[in-house]
C-alpha cells in the first residue's frame, strides 16, 4: 500500500473515469451543450476524487493548500450539474418563453464565491450542503416530472436518490472505516446508475421504453 493514499477516493476516481469516458463519448455523438456540462461535471468529480486520494500524502507540496484546491473542484462539479439542469429547464419551455442561454452559466459564480468563504469551515460546509442538496432535489424534480412521458427518466431519478443517500451518510460521518466504504460504495453506485440512466435517456439511437 502506498503511504498517504486514500483508497476509497481512488475507487471513486476510477468510477468517475468510467463516467467521463461514457459521457464524453455521448456529448460527441449528440453535440448538445447540456451533455457537455454533464460530461464536465463527471470530469470535475473524477479530479476531485483524485485530489482527495493524494492530497493528504506526505509528499504533497506544502505550498499548495489541499483544502482550497479540493473545494474549488468540488464547487465546479456542483456548478456544472446546476448549469446542465438549467439547460434542461430552458429547453423544456416553449421557444418564445425561454430565458437567455447565458443565465444557465450563472451557477459557475459559485466557484469564486465559495473561494471567499473557504477559510470559514462551518459556513463552507453549510454552503456545500445547500449546493449539493439543491442540485439533487432539482434534478429529481425535473426528471420525475418527465417520467409520465418517458419512463427512461426513472433511471436518472434512481441514481439521484442514491446520491441523496450517499450525501446523507457523508453528513452523518461517524469515524469508522466500514462506514467510509459504505458511503463510498453508495457514491460509486450512484455515479454508475446515473451515468447509465443518462446514456439511455439521451443516447442518439435509444428508443423510449
Per-residue pLDDT, 204: 64
Assess if CATH 1.20.1070 describes domain 7-202. Answer: yes
Per-residue pLDDT, 1: 47
Strand ranges in 59-166 using DSSP code E only, listed in sequence order: none
Per-residue pLDDT, 194: 94
Per-residue pLDDT, 175: 60
Name the pTM for this structure: 0.83
- In a 13 Å sphere around the CA of 187, the CA atoms on its Cβ side amount to 23
**What are the structural domain ranges in the chain?**
7-202
Per-residue pLDDT, 207: 44
Q: Are residues 38 and 81 in contact, defined by beta-carbon separation less than 8 angstroms?
A: yes
> What integer best gives the mean pLDDT of the chain?
84
No. of H helices and E strands in the chain? 7, 0
Per-residue pLDDT, 205: 56
Give dist(CA 93, CA 179) in Å, integer.
Answer: 43
Per-residue pLDDT, 176: 65
- The residue ranges of the chain whose pLDDT is under 50 are 1, 207-209
Per-residue pLDDT, 3: 52
CA distances 109 to 50, 78, 104, 116, Å, are 24, 11, 11, 11
Question: How far, rounded to the nearest angstrom, does the alpha carbon of residue 63 sit from its chain's CA centroid?
Answer: 28
Per-residue pLDDT, 179: 74
Amino acid at each position: 500500500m502506498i503511504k498517504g493514499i486514500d483508497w476509497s477516493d481512488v475507487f471513486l476516481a476510477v468510477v468517475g473515469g468510467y463516467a467521463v469516458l461514457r459521457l464524453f463519448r455521448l456529448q460527441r455523438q449528440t453535440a448538445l451543450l447540456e451533455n457537455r456540462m454533464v460530461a464536465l461535471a463527471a470530469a470535475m468529480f473524477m479530479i476531485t476524487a483524485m485530489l482527495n486520494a493524494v492530497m493528504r500524502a506526505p509528499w504533497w507540496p506544502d505550498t499548495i493548500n489541499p483544502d482550497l484546491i479540493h473545494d474549488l473542484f468540488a464547487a465546479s462539479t456542483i456548478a456544472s450539474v446546476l448549469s446542465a439542469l438549467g439547460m434542461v429547464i430552458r429547453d423544456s419551455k416553449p421557444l418564445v418563453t425561454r430565458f437567455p442561454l447565458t443565465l444557465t452559466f450563472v451557477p459557475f459564480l459559485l466557484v469564486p464565491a465559495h473561494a471567499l468563504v473557504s477559510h470559514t469551515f462551518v459556513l463552507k460546509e453549510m454552503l456545500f450542503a445547500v449546493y449539493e442538496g439543491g442540485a439533487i432535489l432539482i434534478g429529481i424534480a425535473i426528471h420525475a416530472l418527465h417520467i409520465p412521458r418517458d419512463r427512461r427518466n426513472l433511471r436518472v431519478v434512481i441514481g439521484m436518490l442514491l446520491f441523496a443517500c450517499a450525501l446523507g451518510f457523508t453528513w452523518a460521518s461517524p469515524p469508522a472505516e466500514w462506514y467510509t466504504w459504505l458511503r463510498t460504495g453508495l457514491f460509486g453506485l450512484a455515479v454508475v446508475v446515473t451515468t447509465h440512466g443518462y446514456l439511455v435517456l439521451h443516447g442518439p439511437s435509444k428508443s423510449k421504453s
